Amino acid sequence: MKQSEGSAVSGKTKIRTGQDYIQSLRNRDLEIYLFGEKVDEPVDHPMIRPSINAVAKTYDLAHEAPELASVISPFTGERVSRFLHICTDTKDLVLQNKMQRKLGQETGTCFQRCVGMDAFNALYSVTFEVDEKYSTIYHERLKKFITSMHQANYVVGGAMTDVKGDRSLAPHQQEDPDMFVHISRRTAEGVYISGAKAHQTGCINSHWMIVMPTMKLGKEDQDYAVAAAVPVDATGITYIYGRQSCDTRSMEGGSIDQGNSSYSGQEAMVLFENVFVPNQLIFMDGEYDFASMLVERFTTYHRRSYVCKSGVGDALIGAAASIAEYNGVDGASHIKDKLVQMTHLNETIYGTGIASSYQGYATKSGAFICDPMLSNVCKHHVTKFPYEISRLSQDLAGGLVVTLPSEKEINHPEIGALLKKYLQGKKEIPTEHRIRILRLIENMTLGRNAVGYLTESLHGAGSPQAQRILIGRLMQLEYKKRLARILAGIEVVEDKTAIVQELGSYFERVFKIPD
């Protein structure tokens, strides 16, 4: 058995830079399938490498801007990535969002580390409350695990989304029990888990992953109520790499046609076949009544983590403004108006996300969590606004964004010069620059990074209906109806405190005086 607590940490030096990180991924024994073949070394695979570069950027940013992207670990006393930090005040939550916007700007894509960050924070408060109810020891175990991750400054991914099978059936009702990750066998030393997780962001680029339940569970789903840490190279794990639109352009050579040749996201399906987890890495085992709390807290963090898209939006707005300039139309009032519209939408995403963090509050464990209403509103914006921002960027780009010749023609000894002549925009702008910006817009709205900017914005951290359910649950209509009745003279209130809502409500947080 390869796996034991901290085995992946011992003997390894702490990761400090992007280069250290890339080096740490080499020579691992991962089973990865891509294009019908096993991948020898993902680090050197041209289709995978841009996704690794995006994660490496999180380490480099920690050097360039340590206050933004790193913290002094309360567990080790040393500086570690902010992605591994447990938030202990609203400033921590806010800085997560600021870091995400910056990384979105600098990579133009998904940098893959927020799922693990949000899983750590959710699990921290939930294990505390499970222990309080059941006298278990999950919280201490988790703190030990977090400490070992801080010692190595590792990348920890989160694995939540089960494949789910027949959506009308609970996990225990599925004909095939593997439709949800579950405990398949127990020994005195630990448990074995089986099943599959879909759409796993950055899983191959992580060192460890936190496996969690995907939804509310009932009494008969106890074997599905499992949260655990697993090293990504554990025996029994297989990865099936997800295809992305235009992904093979990275295998064609050249750098123009990719649009963003440096960075991309990564999604894979993860198959677990009797993967052993030792007791000390199990943070939930059978406490089905806490599964929904874990999922809801995770999504509360994660839905405002989607301010990452405002950073990506900044780069796309910049591309749209650049192409307008290169085309010589940047002075036109309707062009400016479209850029204003894109910015308004983009800042609306950021505004609600960062407000959710500013309106954060302490859980029983001491860890801070952001406001769930504003977090869901943020993510709900994200399911729509990037589509409109993309539409406007294509409007400004013109039809060339989808009809450009390939870079092989642009650089062709016979036809290249003529193409450069006919694709020229403003005289002082090299034609290649114009083509590069168009290809970037294509990349972000139709190509590889549209995966993250568009469809992942729609479905990641829960599809739009999931946010509407939460918004509906939190909207306090009785309170609002009462406000109306009072204003309309239907109800007279002597004691104004009587209309203050229940503890822990959205409006209690709205009217709380900030510290």
| Residues of this chain that bind ligand SF4 (CB under 6 A) | 110-112, 114-115, 201, 305-306, 308, 452, 456, 460
296 in catalytic set: no
Residues 256-285 that bind Fe ion (CB under 5 A): none
CB atoms closer than 10 angstroms to residue 435: 23
Say which entry of ligand SF4, Fe ion, none residue 305 contacts (CB below 5 to 8 A, set by partner kind). ligand SF4
How far is the C-alpha of 362 from the C-alpha of 89, rounded, in Å? Answer: 7
Is the CB of 157 or the CB of 236 nearer to ligand SF4?
157
Is the CB of residue 279 less than 8 Å from the CB of residue 348? no
Write down the least CB distance from residue 402 to ligand SF4, Å. 25
Nearer to Fe ion, 231 or 460 (CB): 460
Q: Residue 308: which of Fe ion, ligand SF4, none does it interact with, CB under 5 to 8 A by kind?
A: ligand SF4
Encoding tokens for residue 454? Answer: 């568009």
Smallest gap from Cβ 149 to ligand SF4, in A, equals 17
Site for Fe ion in 443-482 (CB under 5 A): 460
Structure tokens at 391: 């539409």
Catalytic residue among 267, 287, 407, 442: 267
Report the C-alpha gap between 70 and 119 in whole angstroms: 18
**Shortest spacing between CB 456 and ligand SF4, in angstroms:** 6
SS (H, E, C) 10-23: CCCCCCCCHHHHHH
201 catalytic? Reply is yes
Nearest-angstrom CA–CA distance, 238 and 244: 19
* 114 is annotated as an active-site residue: yes
CA nearest to 128, candidates 370, 300, 367, 289: 367
Point out the catalytic residue in the list 87, 110, 370, 378: 110
Q: Which of ligand SF4, Fe ion, none lies near 112, with the C-beta cut-off 5 to 8 A by kind?
A: ligand SF4
Has 308 been annotated as catalytic? yes
Closest distance between ligand SF4 and the C-beta of residue 255, in Å? Answer: 23
Report the Cα 10 to chain-centroid distance in Å.
Answer: 28
Q: Which does 385 bind (CB under 5 to 8 A by kind): Fe ion, ligand SF4, none?
A: none
Exactly one of 302, 407, 442, 445 is catalytic; name it. Answer: 302
Instruction: Give CA–CA dist 191/182, Å, rounded.
Output: 10
267 part of the active site: yes
Q: Which residues contact 365 (CB under 8 A, 6 or more apart)?
A: 124, 125, 127, 128, 129, 139
Least Cβ distance, residue 194 to ligand SF4 (angstroms): 26
Q: Single out the catalytic residue among 87, 203, 246, 308.
A: 308
Q: Which is nearer to ligand SF4, 57 or 139 (CB)?
A: 57
Binding footprint of Fe ion, residue count (CB under 5 A): 1
Q: Which two tokens stand for residue 509?
A: 């947080």
Of Fe ion, ligand SF4, none, which one does residue 145 interact with (CB within 5 to 8 Å by kind)?
none
Nearest to 160 by CA among 193, 191, 111, 197: 197
- Residue among 124 and 306 whose Cβ is closer to ligand SF4: 306
Beta carbon nearer to Fe ion, 50 or 460: 460
- Give which of 251, 435, 466 is closest to 372, Cα–Cα: 466
* Residue 361, beta-bridge partner list: 369
Q: Closest distance between Fe ion and the C-beta of residue 222, in Å?
A: 28
Count of Cβ atoms closer than 10 Å to residue 472 Cβ: 10
25 touches, from Fe ion, ligand SF4, none (C-beta below 5 to 8 Å by class): none
Catalytic one of 288, 306, 326, 350: 306
Which of 233-270 are b and which e, b meaning 16 or more Cβ less than 10 Å from the residue's Cβ?
A: ebebbbbbbbebebbebbeeeeebbbbbbebbbbbbbb
DSSP 170-231: -GGGSSSGGGS-EEEEE-SSEEEEEEEEEEEETSTT-SEEEE---S---GGGGGG-EEEEEE
For ligand SF4, the closer CB: 56 or 308: 308
* Residues found near Fe ion in the complex (CB under 5 A): 460
Catalytic residues, by residue number, are 110, 114, 201, 267, 302, 306, 308, 456
